[in-house]
Structures are given as C-alpha cells and as structure tokens.
C-alpha cells in the first residue's frame, strides 16, 4: 500500500526545499508566535500574513490545491472545539435563535473570539503544512537534534516514523481480511472482532520491536545512533531568515 | 481534542510547555532505567502501533464511528512512564506530519493527554487492580481507568481554554466533560476487550508493577 500523501512533495527542488531545516523550523516558530499574538481586530495584518504564506507556498512549487485539501481535512477538528464559543460569551447580542426549549444567543464578543481563534488556527495550519510538505521528516528530526532536543526522543521519533508505514499497512490488511469475511452481523460482534484485531496488532508490534532490537544489537548498536551528514548554513539561509524576520516585523507594525 | 494554534494565550501555553517538558524529561529518565537501550526500538514501534490503532474506526450507535485513543491501553502494556513517552511521540508526529493540534499548543496537548490522562488513568487502575486482584481486577480497573483518563484529559483541556479566555470555565467545562463522558464509555469498552484478548493470548506482556 502507498502512503504517499505524507511525503509526496518533499523531494521537489525549490528555494523552500533547499533551505536548512533548522532555518525553516525557526522561521515557523517565529511566524506562529507573530500570528497568534496579533490582536483580533487587526484584519489587515491577518490578510498580509495570509499573503506572505501564499507567496512562500508559491516559492515552494507545491500545488496550492494540495495544500488547500490538506488544510480542509483539519478544519472540522478545529470547528468541533470552536463551535460553541460564539454562543456563550456575554456581551452585545448579535442575534438569538430558539430551537424548541433551547435558546441560543450569539454575541458580538463571542463572534470576535470565534473569528480570532479560527483565523489564527487556519494560518498556523497553513504554515505547518508548508513545513511538513517541504521537508523530509528525517531531516526535520536531525534539525531537532541539532537544536538540543534530547537524542532519546528524536531516535524514538525516527523509529516511529519508520514503522508507522509498516504497522498501518499491517492493520489495513487485517481490516480488509476481516471486512471481506464478515458481512452484516451485530455491532457488538464487529466491535469485539476489531478489538481483538488491535490486540493481535499489539502483539505483533511488540514482537517486531524485540526483533528490531536484537537485529540492531547484532550489528553493534550500543545505544548511540551515528549519522554522517551534517547541516551547513549558507547565504540563502541567512537571506531567507533576515527577509522573513523583516517581513514579519513590518507586517506587525502596519497599523490599521 | 487536539487544541489547534491560536486557541490558547501565552499565559496558558507557556506554563503547559514547561510542565510537559519537565514531566516528559522525568518519564524519559525513569523509563531508561528499566528498559535501558532496548527502549529506543521498542518505544518507536509501540508509538507506531498506537498511531495505527487510532486509525481504526469502530462502529458506534447509528452510522457514526469513533476511534480508540489508546491512553490507558498503553499504560497496562508498557507501564506509566514508557506510556507517557509513547503518547508524546504520537502527538509530536500528529502535530508535525498531520497538523493535528498546533505547535504552540503542543505542550498543552502533551500535558492533557500524555501526563494528566496517563498518570490519572494509572493512579486509578493500579489500586483497583490490586484490590480486586486477578484477571477481573485488571479488566475492571482498565475499564474505569480508560473512562477516567478521557474525562480527566478533557477537564485539563477545558481549564486551559478557560485560562486563555477562549470561553468561560462554567460553560466549557460541562460541555467538554459531558461529551467526553460519552466518548469515554466507548474507550472503556474497547480497551477492556483488547486487554481481555491479550490476557488470553499473551498474559506475559501485561505490565507488572
């Protein structure tokens, strides 16, 4: 099975792809901090941040439709948390509705908070998607490590990233086998069968973990993972960092 | 329940990050003591397992379906410290690869699901298991702990949203807790089925205290 949706565009060749992952990570964190600390009423600022993100997406040569599609998948999860906000904030009433015995009142203050969290969440999601689609996960992990993230954590992360595909494949195969053999039947039966499937998956995963460890031991693993490649910052990286810093600050200082 | 970026203000996400870093650092040290260098591949594969298990949809009432969260499941199988690491790793991957949950709020998500959910679940599971004893103790303990861990995590999430002023506590707490009390029932049923199965097939894999 293919899970190309994860790393599909990470080997394109563009300005964004060639940047040092550390630079991308720092820029991402800075952009997120700027976005989430913007006042909810500065609409122009949000628009400018949006334009900046779309320019970066354009530079990265990743199809914009792909990024939109990915961002739309996440929106429902954001809405689940946000949906009740406009109804419960006290303030000037914008409109009220009643469904049977339930009275819902939407206030301007509530709508403001709603807009605030939604726009910030969406812009941040776009930034994160750009990072995820323009950077290989292994490079990202190496960047974490270079930035003093505990090595234990990054090693576990890289193992997980390696085995996600294997185990998801395994689970899908088991699910397909179950689906093709069980048509109809009571819901309880299905829940139980699926639970047992997870149990089997756990045992297989656990045993695989042990086997992988033994295989590593027999190849001389001593608790340390060594890699050959190191990152080097070049001129483009510095220019990008400087430009982004200036743009972010410039957008913030525009008053409207 | 993954909180996206923008939902929390600085006075909520910065402390959450600090607590999470401290907590996970402690768990890493504790887990390394017991697992030594076996830990790296095992934790990696186990994280991938939790991730894969979360992708599986279980049919619930009507046409809807839900998925396992796996918090307490991992506690029983791996012990509380290793479990906190596994869930943290899953959350980091979900954040960076799938944009599920924000980066600034990642600390809060780790705090809710990995620390509050796991430790709460473990503290509930362990006494029940030792009082009732045997397989029955494990299953009953697991069901109650699985339910409680989901509810506890939603409480923590509600408190963080309230601190940020996103919505008042007296509103967000009941909404979150009541909805997760329902989600927790599903979690409890599925988790106890899975543990029941593993008890039958490989009882040696259940974590011994």
Q: Does B112 touch chain A (CB under 8 A)?
A: no
Say if B1 falls within a structural domain.
no
Using a CB–CB cutoff of 8 Å, tell me whether B202 touches chain A. yes
Please report the residues numbered 38 through 57 in chain B whose beta carbons come closer than 8 angstroms to any beta carbon of chain A: 38-49, 51-53, 55-56
- Residue B110, pLDDT > 80, answer yes
Query: Both tokens of residue B137?
Result: 């103790």
Is residue B50 included in any domain, yes or no?
yes
Interface of B with A in 163-192 (CB under 8 A): 165-168, 171-172, 175, 189-190
Flag if A85 and B51 touch (Cβ within 8 Å).
no
pLDDT value, residue B20: 92
Answer whether A128 sits within 8 Å of B102, measured CB to CB. Answer: yes
Distance CA B28, CA A134 (A): 30
The beta-carbon neighbor of B40 closest among A37, A116, A156 is: A156
Percent of chain A with pLDDT over 70: 86
Task: Say which residue, B167 or A41, is predicted with more confidence.
Answer: A41
Torsion from C-alpha of A200, A203, A204, A205, nearest 10 degrees = 120
Please report whether residue B3 resides in a domain: no
Contact A209 B41 (CB under 8 A): yes
Tens-digit pLDDT profile for residues A199-251: 999 899 888 888 888 888 898 877 666 666 677 788 888 888 888 888 888 88
Give the pLDDT score at B69.
Answer: 77
- Mean pLDDT value across chain B: 84
CATH number at residue B195: 1.10.1760.20
| Strand partners for A95 | A106
Q: Report pLDDT digits (tens) over B11-25.
A: 888 999 999 999 999
Distance between CA atoms of residues B187 and B84, nearest Å: 18
Arithmetic mean of pLDDT, A85-104: 63
Mean pLDDT of A180-184: 84
Q: Is residue A85 scored above 60 in pLDDT? A: yes
The arithmetic mean of pLDDT across residues A15-23, rounded, is 86
At residue A75, does pLDDT exceed 50?
Answer: yes
Give residue B150's region: left, alpha or beta (phi > 0; psi -120 to 50). alpha
Write down the pLDDT at residue A1: 47
pLDDT above 90: residue A189:
no
- Confirm whether B179 is domain-assigned: yes
* Contact across the interface for B53 and A152, Cβ inside 8 Å: no
Expressed as residue numbers, the domain containing B195 is 10-205
Chains A–B, number of C-beta pairs less than 8 Å apart: 231
Instruction: Tell whether the model's pLDDT for residue B185 goes beyond 50.
Output: yes
Number of domains comprising chain B = 1
Whether residue B4 lies inside any domain: the answer is: no
Please check whether residue A49 is in contact with residue A35, taking contact to mean a CB–CB distance below 8 angstroms.
yes
* Confidence category of residue A187, pLDDT binned at 50, 70, 90: confident
CB spacing of A212 vs B45 below 8 angstroms? yes
Residue A57 near residue A67 (C-beta atoms within 8 A): yes
0.90 surpassed by complex ipTM = no
CA of residue A232 relative to chain centroid, distance:
26
Q: Which residues of chain B are within 8 Å of residue A33 when distances are taken between CB atoms?
A: 104
Report the chain B residue with the minimal C-alpha distance to residue A28: B103
Q: Check CB contact under 8 Å for B53 and A28.
A: no
**Predicted pLDDT of residue A7:** 67
pLDDT digits (tens, 9 = 90+) for B126-171: 888 888 877 888 888 888 988 998 889 888 988 888 888 777 777 7
Asked if the model's pLDDT at residue A133 lies above 80, the reply is: yes
Q: Where are the domains of chain A?
A: 4-135+232-253, 146-218
Residue B1 has pLDDT above 50, yes or no: yes
Please determine, for residue A6, whether its predicted confidence score (pLDDT) is greater than 80: no
Mean predicted confidence (pLDDT) in B167-180: 80
pLDDT at A177: 92
Tell me: the pLDDT tens digits for B33-85?
877 777 788 888 888 988 888 888 777 666 666 677 777 777 777 888 888 88
- Mean pLDDT estimate for chain A: 82
Residue bearing the bigger pLDDT, B168 or A196: A196
């Amino acid at each position: 099975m293919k899970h190309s949706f994860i790393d599909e565009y990470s080997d394109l060749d563009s300005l964004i792809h060639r940047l040092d992952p550390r630079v991308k990570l720092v820029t991402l964190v800075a952009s997120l901090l700027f976005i989430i600390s913007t006042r909810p009423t500065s609409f122009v600022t949000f628009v400018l941040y949006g334009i900046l993100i779309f320019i970066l997406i354009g530079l990265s040569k990743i199809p914009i439709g792909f990024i939109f599609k990915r961002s739309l998948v996440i929106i429902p999860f954001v809405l689940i948390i946000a949906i009740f906000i406009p109804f419960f904030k006290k303030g000037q009433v914008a409109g009220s509705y009643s469904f049977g015995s339930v009275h819902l009142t939407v206030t301007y203050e509530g709508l403001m908070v709603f807009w605030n969290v939604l726009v910030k969440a969406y812009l941040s999601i776009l930034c994160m998607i750009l990072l995820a689609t323009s950077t290989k996960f292994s490079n990202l992990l190496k960047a974490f490590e270079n930035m003093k993230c505990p090595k234990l954590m990054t090693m576990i992360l890289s193992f997980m990233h390696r085995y996600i595909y294997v185990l998801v494949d395994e689970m899908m195969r088991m699910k397909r086998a179950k689906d093709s053999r069980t048509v109809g039947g009571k819901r309880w039966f299905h829940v139980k069968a699926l639970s047992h499937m997870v149990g089997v998956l756990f045992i297989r995963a656990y045993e695989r973990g042990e086997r992988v460890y033994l295989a590593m031991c027999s190849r001389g693993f001593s608790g340390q993972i060594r890699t050959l490649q190191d990152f080097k910052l070049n001129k483009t990286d510095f220019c990008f960092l400087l430009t982004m810093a200036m743009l972010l600050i410039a957008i913030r200082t525009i008053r409207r | 329940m993954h909180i996206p970026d923008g939902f929390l203000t600085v006075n909520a996400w910065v402390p959450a990050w600090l607590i999470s870093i401290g907590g996970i650092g402690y768990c890493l040290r504790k887990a390394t003591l017991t697992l030594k260098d076996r830990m790296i591949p095992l934790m990696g594969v186990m994280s991938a397992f939790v991730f894969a298990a979360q992708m599986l949809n279980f049919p619930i009432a009507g046409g809807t379906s839900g998925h396992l969260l796996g918090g307490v499941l991992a506690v029983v199988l791996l012990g509380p410290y290793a479990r906190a690491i596994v869930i943290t790793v899953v959350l980091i991957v979900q954040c960076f690869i799938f944009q599920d949950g924000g980066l600034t709020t990642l600390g809060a998500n780790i705090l809710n699901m990995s620390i509050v959910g796991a430790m709460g679940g473990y503290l509930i599971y362990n006494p029940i298991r030792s009082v009732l004893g045997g397989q029955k103790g494990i299953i009953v303990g697991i069901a109650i702990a699985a339910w409680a861990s989901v509810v506890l995590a939603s409480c923590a999430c509600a408190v963080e949203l309230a601190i940020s002023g996103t919505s008042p506590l007296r509103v967000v707490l009941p909404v979150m807790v009541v909805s997760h009390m329902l989600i927790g029932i599903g979690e409890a049923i599925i988790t106890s089925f899975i543990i029941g199965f593993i008890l039958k097939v490989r009882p040696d894999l259940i974590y011994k205290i």
